[in-house]
Amino acid sequence: MKKILTGFSILLLCACSAKLSLLTQADAERGTAKFPGSTLASLNEGKAHYEQYCGSCHGLKSPASEPEAEWNRIVPDMVKKTNKKAGSEVVDSKKQELILQYVVTMSTAK
């Protein structure tokens, strides 16, 4: 019974969070306009950090839910809160940049 409830809880959590699409080479190419040197690998790394760090405290927003200017405000604020809550720099500047690269690039996906 406990296994069934655990499985149900996981399914419920997954259903409540944003469905993040798979990244493509076209996404990486679009990302280079704002982030020179952006690659599919760096976008995937940013997405993984976004899911890990942002999704650990609250449901994930679809990157398309906010414009670039708002992501530029939200991400640094949330990184500060995350690091303060952890008592150390869990999300360093490189991870922050990758998260920002991912959400900004994907905020313009069509």
Domain hosting residue 90, numbered range: 2-107
Structure tokens given for 110: 């069509």
Instruction: Say whether pLDDT at 15 is over 70.
Output: no
Q: Which residues contact 73 (CB under 8 A, 6 or more apart)?
A: none
Please state the domain count of the chain.
Answer: 1
Kindly report the pTM of this predicted structure. 0.80
Half-sphere exposure of 3 (CA within 13 A, CB side): 0
* DSSP classification of residue 4: H
Give the span between the Cα atoms of 37 and 34, in whole angstroms.
9
Could you read off the pLDDT of 36-79 as tens digits, one per residue? 999 999 999 999 999 999 988 889 999 999 999 999 999 999 99
